[in-house]
Structure 1
Amino acid sequence: MEPRAALLVAAGGFAGAVSRHGVAVALPAGFPWGTLAVNVVGAFVLGLVAYHTRIRGRLSDRTRLTVSTGFVSSFTTYSTFATETVSLAPAPAALNVIANYALGFSAVLLARGVIRWRS
């Protein structure tokens, strides 16, 4: 990877990780609300990037690297989602799995609608 690309990914990753921490501490404990929120928002942002590229044309490599590879990949978290889910009682664990997947897919569809509407 070229140094400039690595710096773009690092800058986006730093912003994503710091933002994820901010969301996690801002939301109430007891249920993994922070992880759910970042995963849904991240799915929406990644959907915006993907559908913008598909419908409106190619995004610059700089934007893609900074937003998708850097920010979104550090902002969202599958490993924390999995760890938090197995630590819950069965009913809240099932709710967490359903919420992450249903809301994540819905966020991507919403992003597609936003991009189509703006085209």
Structure 2
Amino acid sequence: MTPLLVALVALGAAVGAPLRYLVDRAVSSRHDSLFPWGTFAVNVAGSFLLGLLTAATLHTSAPVVALLGTGLCGALTTYSTFGYETIRLLQERARLLAVLNVAASIVAGLVAAAAGAALARVLAG
């Protein structure tokens, strides 16, 4: 990986991490629930964006993939927080919410990635 690509990954991450925090806080503040809606929202949005970008990679340069795919999407989405919040739900004896969090996150993430890829194919003509 060239120094330029490393810098682009860092730049994308510098945007993605604060964006994740701001979206998470905004979404979470609108829900009075134990369910981690903020993390769910950023992970689904990031999956959509990465699906879109991945399907477009034949027409996308390596610098754009580094900036948006690895950098932005890598920092926007958060598997560690998803794992932590699932464990926290289990510790709070909210077992159903923990199971729903896992199932909904996996299904919604896959559907969002597929939708992003489908949109990329439509846009490519």
Give the TM-score normalised by structure 2.
0.87
Percent identity at matched positions? 41
1:101, CA displacement in angstroms? 0.5
Q: Distance in 2 between matches of 1:112 and 1:58?
A: 13
1:3, CA displacement in angstroms? 2.3
Return 5+ residue gaps in structure 1 as ranges: none
Within 5 A, what are the aligned runs for 1:1-119?
Answer: 1-28=1-28, 30-53=34-57, 57-88=58-89, 89-118=94-123, 119=125
Q: Give the number of equivalent residue pairs.
A: 116
Q: Distance in 2 between matches of 1:112 and 1:48?
A: 4
Return 5+ residue gaps in structure 2 as ranges: none
Query: Which ranges of 4 or more aligned residues in structure 1 deviate by more than 2 Å?
Result: none
Residue type of the alignment partner of 1:79: S
Output the aligned Cα RMSD.
1.2
Residue type of the alignment partner of 1:24: D
SS in 2 for 1:31: coil
Q: Distance in 2 between matches of 1:92 and 1:5?
A: 40
Give the TM-score normalised by structure 1.
0.91
1:116, CA displacement in angstroms? 2.2
